[in-house]
A and B are shown apart, each in its own frame.
Chain A
Amino acid sequence: MPQKENRQFLQGNVVAAHAALAAGATHFYGYPITPSSEILETWVNLVGDPAKPNKSPVTKEPLQYLQCEDEMTSGFAMIGSCLAGKKAFTTTAGPGNILMQDAFSAAEALRIPTVALIMQRGGLSTSTVIYSQEEVTLTCLGGNGEGFRVVYSPHNIQELYDYTIKAFNTAWKYRYPTFVLGDGYQGKMHGEVNLHTMDPKSYVKPKPILLSNKGKNKKSVNLRNCYDQEEEIYEIIEKYRKDFARDSKKIAESESLFLDDAESVIISHGIVSTAAKEAVGRLRKHGQKIGFWRPITLRPIDLPGLLKAVKGKKEIIYIESALGQLSRLINDELMSSNDNRVRNVRIKTMFKPALGISPRDITDFISKNVS
């Protein structure tokens, strides 16, 4: 439930930093990269003079930041602070996201509740500083891991704020590295937002993972990250798999519109889904029986929600600013279904890698390609 109202017109990156503050984050580690740098800059301003830093409105502890020498440091220093029981976070994009996967893999292996705000820039490699949805695979499944991570894909600035707050609580409640996957548009654009305070009931208090027990006859915590035998690590991964399947039911979220009578369903995520939403509204006015579904969590996917959206429909239309990074995630889930009403649904795609997509792009595509 949103608390105190505070409506403002702000840049997405500024909003994300304020969300971290409202969520009770105290430590930030980062390295500048467009289009995410204003998160670092805004947090630095929120901290104020490091000699007499401002305090967290939630924990009343002094705020901290460090501009690191690289993304590995940002990621691993964040892990260090989380191990000590503080809500630490980082932010990055593009090639920085690649470097930071090193730390995210470690967080996945050690079940450390980290939070990273990713603002996708154009792929491939250095590419543009503007926008894409091409860091979906990297953020969901990057590193030498199995994707035991939570990835929120907010679709507007208000959600960027709300889900950044939520990410901190999810991370600490379930102990997974958690991501808010924004993009260059969301980070750089200005929009309306209600910077409400966090609902105190949703707050998950952080606890130290190391040095949690200072008793005299304490048993040490030896948090292991290397294994001798393949059977040993297999057991760990199996345990994580089961945990993740169990927690997914509570974590996964999606949003749908007009599914009841829809013959075709548009599937998109993030900012593209705002264009899809508007396009579906326009098409509905012209009598087109079209529906809308978007995953809010890309990891894990809300499987019951997805099956409900797809079952018995004539076709689904994937719309992405990438070459099918979302559709691969979803198709994977659909293929696991034994229901022919799910498996026989036709698939159409509108992929515009690294290009912004507008409602009109979508209505044009639908009128050309969907009867």
Chain B
Amino acid sequence: MNCNLSDNQKSIKIMLVGEGGQGVQTIAKLLAKAAFAKDYHTSYIPNFGTEQRGGISIAFLQVACEEIVSPKFVDPNVFIILSSRDINRTLRYITKNTTVIYDKYLVKKEIVEKLKKQSPTVVGVDAFELATEKLSERSLNILILGILIGFVDCTLIEKITEIMDKKFQKYYDKKPELKKLNHEALTLGLNLTTA
């Protein structure tokens, strides 16, 4: 197996925090499937409330070079947050070693202050703004997926594109411009992390 996780890590634990409808679970699943296809050991747990839309939505994702014993964790390497909702529920997961990425538009200032108390590495990104200005609001999750790839293994982008295109083919059939939007979003996101 070709282990090529960023920063020579043996495993990466990612927590994605958003709200229902943002596509948090979709991108976690896409990334997990691509990593598995590239022979990584992978596990993904979705975690959401009773609402189909709008409630807090969390994904626990692990990509590793060795077998994953326990799928649940409280010490993510990467914590990505796209919503100000229910923050107290997820703050406890951030450790001093966690890299926290928040969206500058979607996450309120007072929340960012709370995040900064948990970890020295808290980085704001203009994902929502970039997505809405250059692409469309609905590209936000794919852009975030691009960011995520940077944290896991940049070479996954081809596999992810392949799986993503297959998954969204029926939407592409109706709206052909969507495919280009998705590809651009992915690259835009990836560029944000590598920059």
Q: How many residues of B contact A (CB 8 A)?
A: 23
- A190 part of interface (Cβ distance < 8 Å): yes
Q: A9-B36, A128-B50, A130-B48 are in contact. Are A191 and B43 (CB under 8 A)?
A: yes
Q: A189-B44, A190-B42, A191-B43 are in contact. Are A275 and B49 (CB under 8 A)?
A: no
Contact between A277 and B69 (Cβ–Cβ < 8 Å)?
yes
- Which of A45-53, A300-308, A351-359 faces chain B? A351-359
Question: Which residues of B are interface residues toward A (Cβ below 8 A)?
Answer: 29, 32-33, 36-37, 41-50, 68-75
11 contacting pairs across A/B (C-beta < 8 A)? A185-B71, A190-B29, A190-B42, A192-B41, A275-B70, A275-B72, A278-B70, A356-B72, A358-B70, A358-B74, A360-B73
Task: Out of A192, A271, A278, A357, name the residue touching B36 (CB < 8 Å).
Answer: A192
- A42 part of interface (Cβ distance < 8 Å): no
Contact between A130 and B41 (Cβ–Cβ < 8 Å)?
no
Residues from chain B with a CB closer than 8 A to the CB of A271 are: 70-72
Q: How many residues of A contact B (CB 8 A)?
A: 25
Task: Out of A34, A129, A191, name the residue touching B71 (CB < 8 Å).
Answer: A191
19 other A-B residue contacts (CB within 8 Å) besides A190-B33, A271-B72: A9-B32, A156-B69, A156-B71, A189-B43, A189-B46, A189-B71, A190-B32, A190-B42, A191-B68, A271-B70, A274-B69, A274-B70, A274-B71, A275-B69, A277-B69, A356-B45, A357-B72, A358-B73, A360-B75
Contact between B73 and A129 (Cβ–Cβ < 8 Å)?
no
Contact between A188 and B45 (Cβ–Cβ < 8 Å)?
yes
Bound: A156/B69 CA distance, A: 8
Bound: A128/B36 CA distance, A: 30
- A243 part of interface (Cβ distance < 8 Å): no
Bound: A249/B92 CA distance, A: 44
- A61 part of interface (Cβ distance < 8 Å): no
Bound: A189/B68 CA distance, A: 13
Distance in Å: Cβ of B160 to nearest Cβ of chain A: 14
Residues from chain B with a CB closer than 8 A to the CB of A357 are: 72
Q: Which of A9, A128, A131, A185 has the most CB of B within 10 A?
A: A9
Q: Across the two chains, which residue of chain A brings its CB closest to B42?
A: A9
- A255 part of interface (Cβ distance < 8 Å): no
Residues from chain B with a CB closer than 8 A to the CB of A359 are: 69-70, 73
Task: Out of B43, B73, B74, B75, name the residue touching A190 (CB < 8 Å).
Answer: B43
